[in-house]
Amino acid sequence: MAEFTMDLNDEQKEVRDWLHGFAADVIRPAAAEWDEREETPWPVIQEASKLGIYSLDFYAQQFFDPTGLGIPMTMEELFWGDAGIALSIVGTGLAAVGVLANGTEEQIGTWIPQMYGDVNDVKVAAFCSSEPDAGSDVASMRTRAVYDEAKDEWVLNGTKTWATNGGIANVHVVVASIDPELGSKGHASFIVPPNTPGLSQGQKFKKHGIRASHTAEVVLENVRVPGSCLLGGKDKLDERLARAREKAKKGGERVKNAAMATFEASRPAVGAMAVGTARAAYEEALEYAKTREQFGRPIIDNQGVAFQLADMRTQIDASRLLVWRASWMGTTGKKFENAEGSMSKLFASETAKKVTAQAIQILGGNGFTREYPVERMHRDAAIYTIFEGTSEIQRLVIARTLSGMSIR
C-alpha cells in the first residue's frame, strides 16, 4: 500500500508539467471565446485527443495511480486553465466512473472506449442522474426502468436534467428506478447505446458559469436497451433488491445506490477542480497586486491586500491537502470513517467561491470586467458548491457520519 505523501514522484511531476503546458498554451487562449459562444469546444477536445490527454488510456493511468494523486493532479491543472473547457474535456469521465463503479469487466471494456471515440472522430459521454424533481433528493427519482422478460430488454421512461453532454453524447449512462417503494435503494444504472430510438435532448441550459460545457435535459420515451446494458447484470441487481426489501421489512441499514456509488468515487475529483480554479484566481490577484500601483506603491504593500492573499493561499493549500488525502484513501481502500471525501469537496468548493470573490475585490473595477479572467473564474466557481452534491448535502453527509444519527 502506498504511503500518503505530498511529494510527487518524477513521473507525476512530468505529467503535471505536461498538463500545465496544455492548459496554458491551448486552454487559456481559447477560454474567453468559448465562454462567450456557450458551445462545446470541439477543436480543443480534439487537440487534447491528439496529445493523448482526452483518452481512455490516459485517464486509466491516472485512475490507477497507486498513490491516488493522478486524478486530482490532472483536474487541478486542467481547471487552472479554464473550468468550462476543462469540464468539456473531463465530463465524459463521470459517465466512465459510473461504469467502473457499477459495471462488469465486459461492460467496462465494451462501453468506455465508445465514450471517447478516437482522434479522428472524438466522442463524449453523459451521466444522467438528476431530475427536475430529484436533485439532492435522489429517492424521489421518477425515471422508471421496466424489464421486458420476453425480449430481454429494459424500457426506460423519464426526463433527466443538468446532464453534462446530455443529448450530444455518444453513450449515455442513465440512473433509473426499478422499485420505487425502495426509494434510492431501488435504483440501477443503464447504458443507452449510440443512436438508440426514444432518447432526445430537451432544453439546453444557458448557465451563469462553465458556459463552454454543454448542459441539457435528456428525455427518455420508451427507450429500449438490451438486458446486457444493465450495469452489473440482472443477477446482481436481483440479489441487491432482495436484500434491500428484506432490510426494509426489518427497518435495517441503508444500502448504497448506483448514483451514490458514482458520486462518492468522484467527489474528491470535484474538489480538485475547485482547487484549480481557486489557484488560477489567486495567481491572477497576486500578480496584479504586485504590479498595480496606487499612492505611489504596489497595492500588495498594503496589509489589507497582502493579508487577503495570505488567507487565499492558505485556504487553497488546505483544500489541496484534504483532496489529496481523500483521493489517497479512496485508492488505497481506506474507509471514509469521517466522510473525508465529502469534507474535501465541501472545503475546496467553498474555498473556490471565496477566493475568486477576493480576487475580484483585489482587482477592483478591473476585476468586474471581462477584460480580466477573474470575473469568469468567479462565475465558474459557483458550480462547485452545487453539482455532485451541494455544500448543504456534504454537511449533512459529514454530520450523519460523525454523529451516527439520521439528521434531516
Q: How buried is residue 390: exposed, middle or buried, by Cβ count under 10 Å (0-12/13-18/19+)?
A: middle
Identify whether the C-beta of residue 91 lies closer than 8 Å to the C-beta of residue 165.
Answer: yes
Identify whether the C-beta of residue 163 lies closer than 8 Å to the C-beta of residue 131.
Answer: no
Could you tell me which of 342, 215, 334 has the C-alpha nearest to residue 268?
Answer: 342
Residue 317: which H helix or E strand, with range?
helix 303-332
Listed in sequence order, the residues at least 6 apart from 7 whose beta carbon sits closer than 8 Å to its beta carbon are none
Straight-line distance from the first to the last Cα atom of the chain, in angstroms, rounded to the nearest whole number: 37
Identify whether the C-beta of residue 331 lies closer than 8 Å to the C-beta of residue 269.
Answer: no
Q: Which residue has the cell 469568469?
A: 376
Catalytic: 149? no
- Among 3, 76, 388, 392, the one annotated catalytic: 388
Identify whether the C-beta of residue 186 lies closer than 8 Å to the C-beta of residue 60.
Answer: no
3-state secondary structure of 128: strand
Q: What would the DSSP string read from start to end of 41-110?
A: -HHHHHHHHHHTSSSHHHHHHHHT-TTS-HHHHHHHHHHHH-HHHHHHHHTHHHHHHHHHHH--HHHHHH
Sign of CA dihedral 75, 76, 81, 87: positive
Could you tell me which of 358, 342, 377 has the C-alpha nearest to residue 79?
Answer: 377
* Residue 16: CA count within 13 A, CB half-sphere: 13
Identify whether the C-beta of residue 244 lies closer than 8 Å to the C-beta of residue 186.
Answer: yes
The torsion of the CA quartet 62, 68, 70, 72, rounded to 10 degrees, works out to: 120
3-state secondary structure of 135: coil
Active centre residues (catalytic): 388
